Amino acid sequence: MAPSLRPPAVAVAVLAASAALASAQAPRRPPEPFPVFVHATETDDAERAEAIAAALVEVREGVQRRRNWFRLTDDREEAALTLRVTSYRHTQQMRPKLDRQFINGQLQIIEGSEVIDVHYVDAVASAPGSTVRGSLSGFDERERGSSLQNAARHLAELFEDFVKEHYQAVTSREPSGWPMPGARPGE
């Protein structure tokens, strides 16, 4: 039987998918920064509201530091993207730790434990007027020196990655890439 000159269907599908991904890739930086509205989830729990408010300040700063991609706005109608901070929590965890020590010229393994501080900031990212939406969780975990600030910066990094991953959907809503002022979702 003579070999077929037709490429296998799988190879064609892979080439088509890679071409689609290449055309949908986000640029190194957008033509102009996306206006972002960063806000907090409303809650009746005073302790939770206080924790979210503290996280909100740090998240806004973390997003603002990514000025090539984002520009903070206080106007929800102007925003091309929103980031809603849903929770902040801080925990301490005990983890096993093995230490190697030389005692009397011999290597000894000594079991112990260490306390790890972990800070989590959770948020929901969305592009108003589209179906683009995702849950993000920034965290910082260290034996010493972990902080809400580092967790918020990690969240801002994840937010940028999220926008890059969904760049085509985020920018294709309107010819300019921004929603029309006053437009309602689905219009």
Domain limits of the chain?
Answer: 30-171
The pLDDT confidence band at residue 60, using thresholds 50, 70 and 90, is very high
Higher-confidence position of 110 and 36: 36
The pLDDT confidence band at residue 52, using thresholds 50, 70 and 90, is very high
DSSP string for residues in 94-129: EEEEEEEEEETTEEEEEEEEEEEEEEEEEEEEE-TT
Residue among 86, 185, 70 nearest 127 (CA) = 185
Residue among 87, 100, 99 nearest 148 (CA) = 87
Task: Say if residue 171's pLDDT is above 60.
Answer: yes
Handedness of CA 180, 134, 158, 65 (dihedral sign): positive
Task: Say if residue 21's pLDDT is above 90.
Answer: no
Q: Left (φ > 0), alpha (ψ -120 to 50) or beta: where does 104 sit?
A: left
Domain 30-171 has CATH 3.30.160: yes
Range picked from 2-6, 21-25, 139-143, 160-164 for highest mean pLDDT: 160-164
The pLDDT confidence band at residue 24, using thresholds 50, 70 and 90, is low
The distance between the two most distant Cα atoms of the chain, rounded to a whole number of Å, is 77
Q: Look up residue 178 and give its amino acid.
A: W
Give the Cα separation of 146 and 48 in Å (integer).
20
Task: Say if residue 104's pLDDT is above 50.
Answer: yes
The pLDDT confidence band at residue 143, using thresholds 50, 70 and 90, is confident
Task: Say if residue 110's pLDDT is above 50.
Answer: yes
| pLDDT score recorded for residue 151 | 95
Task: Say if residue 121's pLDDT is above 70.
Answer: yes
| pLDDT score recorded for residue 95 | 81
Give the Cα separation of 124 and 180 in Å (integer).
22
Task: Say if residue 184's pLDDT is above 50.
Answer: no
Query: Residue 177: helix, strand or coil by DSSP?
Result: coil
Cα separations (Å) of 91 from 30, 118, 148, 156?
Answer: 37, 5, 11, 21
Please say whether the beta carbons of 121 and 86 come within 8 A. no
Mean pLDDT of the chain: 82
Q: What average pLDDT score do residues 39-49 get?
A: 94
Query: How far is the first Cα of the chain from the last one, in angstroms, to the nearest whole number?
Result: 57
Task: Say if residue 83's pLDDT is above 90.
Answer: yes
Please say whether the beta carbons of 160 and 176 come within 8 A. no
